[in-house]
């Protein structure tokens, strides 16, 4: 044993490695400085409550909301019963004559049955009694929960006030990022989590979203049975709240679930030894829950119907068109959700994409339906017109039986028909719309791009973005369908589920068992086709699909700039960011001749932003402009500038803000100066007092975060497309059957490329080329909407918010390099002006003329 130089280490006994049976060791928790919040046992619940209270805008709002919900419940049940049993409809419809002595008017109280009759009717109706009992039990349950919640949230409230030092009144105006930063801060003094000295943002996210991450991962790996091939409807996604509730019940918190408590998976599920037994156990459990669902089906059905009736009839009455309005389906929310993305972040992202999405879906009106609708609308409209004209002539027409109701009906009919008739001024540009959608929803199967105009794509997209009416219908059907799915579909997957939980659960110190995908470790779960080539070691089973790991990582790093990711991850992020910057600023060909990007298209970002698929209109505009212009290079440069200045400047602004924010507050004055020279957004920063500066900076950052993420998402998709073009990857929509439509991708893309090649190279962007250290802080909008506006003229309500932006470049030494007017919108004249202003044109370098074959290699 002496042949090694290695020293022996003393094997210390620590509490975590005590074998079973010998673990009755006590943990000594030192008395903290009289704080109530050290060593919180169930941190998951605690953080969830902290988050909920924040989302519900403080204690009072939440309390009121819950009280009203309880009252509403009583009202729903009571009113239904009343309507069903205590109203004499004959009197109301005047089928029965009421003998009043004084007047012939029928009053509302006349229509009500007397109390004793009413109660007798209720008592003899078994069904009503049944409904009442069920609702009573349900209500009591809600009441108990409410009282319990009030006690819990009172504690959370005092946590906010005493520990986080935030009053309830300012809570609605504080971002979650701020709250989270304070939590991370106070961990140092209060020691909320005992296992760790310091909390990270990721820990908080992990705890709040532990189960959601699992669900996202399971949907991502197509483990949950939510897609079905129905005989008539074809492929169909069925995922309702009831089903989701049951899944959660089975996996996470129901009796006998896989989890021991909120934060740890049961020990036997972590080992592979008896997976078959465990799968059997799970299968039988699913069976029982399915049967229970089946038995409770009438109860749930009644509840769903009641709830739906009262939540939606009012909406339908008010605006019938709203049924045609769409919403993001529950499945879509799971599919589009990043790992570690909180509800409000997801919602804001999806809401931003809503407009474009509904526009996109509206592109696909069936011409047949349009013809029918136009004619129906014509007939209904003429009838309505006549009726209205008659009414105007003599209002007694209204008194004729059913005239009022037919007017209403015809109105509804016309409104419905109108929704099937496309807007005359609308332009069919699905590819651009899809690009805008992608900028917000961040996920999209590969074969959609280039196939946006196809009906298959639209159908698949409609799985994510369904009609609200379908949503309601599915919810109503759910009590019947859920047990069937559970019993016949989910039960078969029990072994896979057991394997999933075993393979993808990782214990993180200070967090507990969490889904390993949520760690966003490129090495463990990266997908080689998504930029993590060479960095990932994951097998196909371990790779997250659709680049979820990579995109989630980017998103998390961008929204939480304070987060310090592990080494490799940092490397990945910085590499990607650098790449985008480089391509946005175009210094790649000069300064990095040997870097990675050599084998790739040079100005991907330019391609992406100004490419034919996004900015078709601009493209054409530019061409016509070229004809007018004698100097072709000027035009090129102008449009390069136009397309890139918002992006790169916002990137730069954010980057510089970030850096300054991190380094020290001593730099704030310098930054302030920089800001003062910049445009509108920055002015809000500089106008604040110095005490607020840090906070404001973070606010500004978080507002830019979504923009930056949009750019990154687009960029990553673009890069992915280029990478995976050669080999048609296994990635198809949901990886079930290969989609025929995906075959056409390569040609489509290849046909785009030659066009994109003579697109302006971004390194002609003057300000950044001339002084890379300077901060081109320009007033820029959320530039993705700028993309959208440029590409789709009718998309944004606000049109071109900035016509100019001053680019103040104040270095540390205070040297002002130049102040330029950078056009933001799309006015070629201004662009030309800038080009002239910057003197001699940088010659298009030879590297720019990329030989075409490079595109094909990638």
Partner 1 sequence: MISQLFILSSKGDHLIYKDFRGEAGNDVINVFYEKVTALPGDQPPVVMSHRDLHFVHVRQGGLYWVATTTSAGSSPFTIIDFLNRLAALVTDYCGSLSEKSVQMNFALIYELLDEVVDYGYIQTTSSDVLKNFIQTEAVSSRPFSLFDLSNVGLFGAETQQSKVAPSSAATRPIQSSRDQGVFVDVIERLSVIIGSNGAVMKADVEGEIKVKCYMLNCSEMRIGLNEEFSIGRSTLRGYGAAVHVDECRFHQAVKLDEFDDHRILKLCPSQGEQTVMQYQLSDNLPSPPPFRLFPTIERDNRGRLLIYMKLRCDLPPKSAAINVSVSVPVPKGCVSLSQELSSPEQRCELKPQSRSLVWTVPRCSGGTQLSAVFKLDVPGLSSASMLEVGPVGLTFELPKLTSTGLQIRFLRLTPVQPGPSQRWVRYVTHSDSYIIRV
- Distance (Å) of CA 342 to CA 559, 708, 821: 11, 18, 39
HEC letters along 31-98: CCCCCCCCCCCCHHHHHHHHHHHHHCCCHHHHHHHHHHHHHHHHHHHHHHHHHHHCECHHHHCCCCCC
The reply to whether 191 sits near partner 1 by the rule CB under 8 A is no
Provide the minimum distance between the beta carbon of 203 and partner 1 in the complex, in angstroms, as a whole number: 16
Provide the minimum distance between the beta carbon of 12 and partner 1 in the complex, in angstroms, as a whole number: 8
Q: Which is nearer to partner 1, 79 or 541 (CB)?
A: 541
Q: Which is nearer to partner 1, 270 or 752 (CB)?
A: 270
Q: State the chain's maximal CA–CA distance in angstroms.
A: 118
Provide the minimum distance between the beta carbon of 272 and partner 1 in the complex, in angstroms, as a whole number: 6
- Residue 515 dihedral angles phi and psi, to the nearest 5°: -70, 130
Collapsing DSSP to helix, strand or coil, 366 comes out as coil
- Distance (Å) of CA 684 to CA 258, 260, 367, 777, 855: 51, 50, 50, 13, 44
Provide the minimum distance between the beta carbon of 541 and partner 1 in the complex, in angstroms, as a whole number: 7
The reply to whether 574 sits near partner 1 by the rule CB under 8 A is no
For helices 494-503 and 275-318, what crossing angle results, to 10°?
Answer: 100
Q: Which is nearer to partner 1, 13 or 691 (CB)?
A: 13
CB 810 within 8 A of CB 777: no
Q: Which is nearer to partner 1, 9 or 24 (CB)?
A: 9
The only residue of 13, 26, 594, 812 in contact with partner 1, by rule CB under 8 A: 13
Q: Which is nearer to partner 1, 504 or 802 (CB)?
A: 504
The reply to whether 270 sits near partner 1 by the rule CB under 8 A is yes
Q: Which is nearer to partner 1, 7 or 727 (CB)?
A: 7
Q: How far apart are CA 313 and CA 309, in angstroms?
A: 6
Q: Which is nearer to partner 1, 537 or 598 (CB)?
A: 537
Provide the minimum distance between the beta carbon of 837 and partner 1 in the complex, in angstroms, as a whole number: 47
Collapsing DSSP to helix, strand or coil, 514 comes out as strand
Number of residues written out for the chain: 858
The reply to whether 4 sits near partner 1 by the rule CB under 8 A is yes
Provide the minimum distance between the beta carbon of 230 and partner 1 in the complex, in angstroms, as a whole number: 32
The reply to whether 569 sits near partner 1 by the rule CB under 8 A is no
The reply to whether 7 sits near partner 1 by the rule CB under 8 A is yes
Please, which residues have CB within 8 angstroms of residue 406's CB and are 6 or more apart in sequence? 383, 387
- Residue 857 dihedral angles phi and psi, to the nearest 5°: -65, -45
CA angle 245, 246, 252 (to 5 degrees): 85
Provide the minimum distance between the beta carbon of 10 and partner 1 in the complex, in angstroms, as a whole number: 5
Provide the minimum distance between the beta carbon of 500 and partner 1 in the complex, in angstroms, as a whole number: 10
Binding window for partner 1 (CB under 8 A); candidates: 12-20, 197-205, 301-309, 636-644? 12-20
The reply to whether 8 sits near partner 1 by the rule CB under 8 A is yes
Please, which residues have CB within 8 angstroms of residue 591's CB and are 6 or more apart in sequence? none
Structure tokens belonging to residue 383: 């009838």
- The number of CA neighbours under 13 Å toward the Cβ of 279 is 17
Provide the minimum distance between the beta carbon of 715 and partner 1 in the complex, in angstroms, as a whole number: 29
Q: Which of residues 14-33 bind partner 1 (CB under 8 A)?
A: 17-20, 22
The only residue of 449, 542, 668, 674 in contact with partner 1, by rule CB under 8 A: 542
- Where do runs of H (alpha helix) occur along 487-544? 494-503, 522-525
Nearest to 475 by CA among 344, 306, 317: 306
Q: Which is nearer to partner 1, 396 or 507 (CB)?
A: 507
The reply to whether 6 sits near partner 1 by the rule CB under 8 A is yes
The reply to whether 516 sits near partner 1 by the rule CB under 8 A is yes
Binding window for partner 1 (CB under 8 A); candidates: 11-19, 33-41, 335-343, 634-642? 11-19
Provide the minimum distance between the beta carbon of 204 and partner 1 in the complex, in angstroms, as a whole number: 21
Nearest to 220 by CA among 550, 553, 544: 544
Q: How far apart are CA 146 and CA 494, in angstroms?
A: 35
Binding window for partner 1 (CB under 8 A); candidates: 63-71, 270-278, 673-681, 842-850? 270-278
- Residue 555 dihedral angles phi and psi, to the nearest 5°: -60, -45
- Residue 634 dihedral angles phi and psi, to the nearest 5°: -60, -45
Provide the minimum distance between the beta carbon of 730 and partner 1 in the complex, in angstroms, as a whole number: 17
CA angle 588, 590, 593 (to 5 degrees): 75
Binding window for partner 1 (CB under 8 A); candidates: 13-21, 307-315, 625-633, 743-751? 13-21
Residue appearing with tokens 């990932």: 536
The reply to whether 368 sits near partner 1 by the rule CB under 8 A is no
The reply to whether 9 sits near partner 1 by the rule CB under 8 A is yes
Q: Which of residues 496-515 bind partner 1 (CB under 8 A)?
A: 499, 502-507
Binding window for partner 1 (CB under 8 A); candidates: 454-462, 539-547, 670-678, 747-755? 539-547
The reply to whether 123 sits near partner 1 by the rule CB under 8 A is no
Task: State CA 62 to chain mean position distance.
Answer: 24
Please, which residues have CB within 8 angstroms of residue 370's CB and are 6 or more apart in sequence? 420, 421, 422
Structure tokens belonging to residue 140: 């009591």
The reply to whether 495 sits near partner 1 by the rule CB under 8 A is no
The reply to whether 273 sits near partner 1 by the rule CB under 8 A is yes
Q: Which is nearer to partner 1, 420 or 504 (CB)?
A: 504
Q: Which is nearer to partner 1, 254 or 528 (CB)?
A: 528
The reply to whether 534 sits near partner 1 by the rule CB under 8 A is no
The only residue of 127, 379, 488, 541 in contact with partner 1, by rule CB under 8 A: 541
Q: Which is nearer to partner 1, 542 or 764 (CB)?
A: 542
Q: How far apart are CA 26 and CA 111, in angstroms?
A: 71
Binding map of partner 1 across residues 229-268, x = CB under 8 A, - = no contact: ----------------------------------------
Provide the minimum distance between the beta carbon of 499 and partner 1 in the complex, in angstroms, as a whole number: 6
Structure tokens belonging to residue 469: 């009416």
The reply to whether 201 sits near partner 1 by the rule CB under 8 A is no
The only residue of 457, 524, 559, 778 in contact with partner 1, by rule CB under 8 A: 524
Provide the minimum distance between the beta carbon of 196 and partner 1 in the complex, in angstroms, as a whole number: 17
Provide the minimum distance between the beta carbon of 509 and partner 1 in the complex, in angstroms, as a whole number: 11
The reply to whether 5 sits near partner 1 by the rule CB under 8 A is yes
The reply to whether 624 sits near partner 1 by the rule CB under 8 A is no
Provide the minimum distance between the beta carbon of 7 and partner 1 in the complex, in angstroms, as a whole number: 4
Provide the minimum distance between the beta carbon of 17 and partner 1 in the complex, in angstroms, as a whole number: 4
Long-range contacts of 167-174 (CB under 8 A, 24+ apart): 168/58, 168/59, 168/60, 169/58, 171/53, 171/54, 171/57, 171/58, 172/57, 172/58, 172/61, 174/54
The reply to whether 130 sits near partner 1 by the rule CB under 8 A is no
Provide the minimum distance between the beta carbon of 224 and partner 1 in the complex, in angstroms, as a whole number: 19
How many residues bind partner 1, per CB under 8 A?
Answer: 34
Provide the minimum distance between the beta carbon of 85 and partner 1 in the complex, in angstroms, as a whole number: 59
**Interstrand relation of 264-265 and 259-261 (parallel, antiparallel or unpaired):** antiparallel
HEC letters along 584-626: HHCCHHHHCCCCHHHHCCCCHHHHHHHCCCCCHHHHHHHHHHH
Under the rule (CB under 8 A), what is the footprint of partner 1?
1-2, 4-13, 17-20, 22, 270-273, 499, 502-507, 516, 524, 539, 541-542, 567
């Amino acid at each position: 044993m002496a042949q090694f130089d290695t020293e022996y280490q003393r094997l210390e006994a620590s509490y975590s490695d005590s074998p079973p049976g010998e673990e009755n060791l006590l943990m000594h928790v030192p008395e903290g400085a009289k704080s109530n919040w050290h060593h919180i046992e169930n941190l998951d619940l605690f953080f969830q409550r902290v988050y909920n209270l924040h989302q519900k805008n403080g204690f009072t709002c939440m309390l009121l909301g819950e009280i009203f919900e309880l009252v509403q419940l009583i009202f729903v049940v009571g009113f239904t019963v009343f309507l069903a049993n205590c109203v004499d409809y004959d009197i109301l419809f005047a089928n029965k004559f009421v003998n009043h002595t004084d007047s012939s008017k029928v009053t509302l109280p006349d229509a009500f049955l007397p109390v004793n009759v009413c109660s007798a009717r209720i008592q003899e109706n078994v069904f009503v009694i049944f409904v009442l009992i069920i609702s009573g039990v349900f209500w009591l349950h809600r009441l108990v929960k409410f009282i319990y919640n009030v006690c819990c949230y009172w504690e959370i409230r005092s946590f906010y006030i005493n520990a986080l030092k935030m009053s309830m009144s300012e809570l609605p105006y504080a971002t979650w990022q701020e709250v989270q930063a304070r939590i991370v801060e106070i961990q140092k003094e209060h020691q909320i989590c005992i296992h760790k000295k310091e909390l990270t943002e990721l820990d908080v996210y992990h705890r709040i979203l532990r189960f959601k991450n699992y669900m996202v991962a399971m949907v991502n790996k197509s483990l949950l049975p939510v897609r079905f091939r129905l005989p008539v409807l074809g492929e169909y996604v069925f995922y309702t709240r009831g089903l989701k509730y049951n899944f959660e019940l089975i996996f996470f918190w129901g009796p006998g679930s896989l989890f021991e408590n909120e934060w740890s998976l049961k020990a036997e599920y972590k080992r592979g030894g008896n997976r078959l037994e465990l799968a059997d156990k799970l299968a039988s459990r699913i069976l029982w829950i399915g049967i229970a669902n089946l038995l409770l089906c009438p109860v749930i059905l009644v509840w769903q119907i009641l709830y739906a009736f009262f939540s939606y009839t009012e909406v339908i009455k008010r605006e019938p068109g709203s049924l045609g309005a769409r919403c993001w389906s529950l499945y879509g929310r799971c599919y589009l959700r990043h790992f570690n993305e909180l509800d409000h972040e997801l919602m804001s992202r999806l809401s931003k994409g809503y407009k474009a999405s509904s526009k996109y879906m509206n592109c696909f009106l069936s011409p047949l339906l349009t013809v029918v609708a136009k004619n129906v609308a014509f007939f209904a409209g003429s009838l309505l017109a006549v009726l209205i004209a008659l009414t105007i002539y003599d209002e007694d027409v209204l008194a004729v039986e059913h005239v009022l109701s037919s007017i209403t009906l015809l109105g509804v009919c016309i409104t419905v028909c109108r929704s099937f008739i496309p807007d005359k001024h609308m332009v069919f540009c699905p590819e651009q719309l899809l690009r805008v959608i992608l900028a917000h929803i961040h996920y999209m199967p590969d074969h959609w791009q280039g196939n946006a105009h196809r009906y298959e794509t639209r159908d698949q997209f409609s799985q994510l973005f369904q009609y609200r009416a379908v949503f309601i219908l599915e919810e109503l059907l759910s009590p019947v369908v859920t047990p069937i799915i559970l019993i016949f579909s989910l039960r078969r997957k029990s072994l896979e589920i057991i394997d999933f939980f075993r393979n993808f659960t990782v214990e993180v110190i200070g967090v507990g068992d969490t889904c390993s995908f949520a760690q966003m470790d490129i090495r463990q779960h990266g997908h080689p086709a998504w930029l993590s080539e060479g960095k990932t070691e994951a097998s196909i089973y371990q790779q997250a699909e659709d680049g979820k790991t990579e995109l989630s990582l980017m998103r998390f790093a961008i929204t939480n700039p304070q987060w310090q990711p592990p080494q490799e991850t940092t490397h990945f992020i910085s590499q990607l960011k650098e790449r985008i910057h480089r391509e946005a600023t175009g210094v790649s060909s000069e300064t990095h001749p040997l870097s990675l990007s050599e084998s790739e298209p040079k100005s991907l970002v330019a391609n992406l932003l100004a490419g034919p698929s996004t900015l078709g209109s601009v493209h054409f505009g530019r061409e016509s402009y070229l004809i007018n212009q004698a100097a072709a290079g000027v035009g090129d440069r102008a449009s390069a500038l136009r397309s890139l200045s918002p992006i790169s400047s916002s990137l730069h602004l954010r980057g510089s803000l970030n850096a300054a924010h991190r380094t020290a507050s001593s730099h704030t004055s310098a930054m302030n100066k920089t800001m003062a020279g910049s445009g509108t957004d920055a002015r809000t920063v500089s106008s604040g007092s110095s005490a607020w500066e840090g906070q404001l900076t973070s606010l500004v950052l978080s507002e830019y975060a979504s923009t930056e993420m949009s750019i990154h998402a687009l960029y990553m998709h673009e890069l992915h497309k280029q990478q995976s073009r050669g080999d048609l990857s296994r990635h198809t929509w949901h990886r079930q059957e290969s989609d025929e439509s995906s075959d056409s991708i390569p040609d489509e893309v290849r046909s785009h490329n030659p066009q994109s090649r003579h697109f302006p190279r971004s390194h002609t962007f003057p300000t950044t080329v001339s002084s890379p250290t300077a901060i081109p802080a320009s007033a820029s909008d959320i530039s993705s909407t700028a993309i959208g506006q440029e590409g789709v003229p009718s998309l944004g309500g606000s049109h071109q918010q900035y016509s100019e932006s001053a680019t103040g470049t104040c270095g540390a030494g205070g040297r002002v390099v130049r102040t330029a007017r950078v056009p933001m919108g799309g006015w070629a004249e201004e662009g030309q002006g800038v080009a002239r202003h910057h003197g001699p044109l940088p010659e298009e370098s030879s590297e720019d003329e990329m030989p075409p074959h490079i595109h094909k290699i990638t």
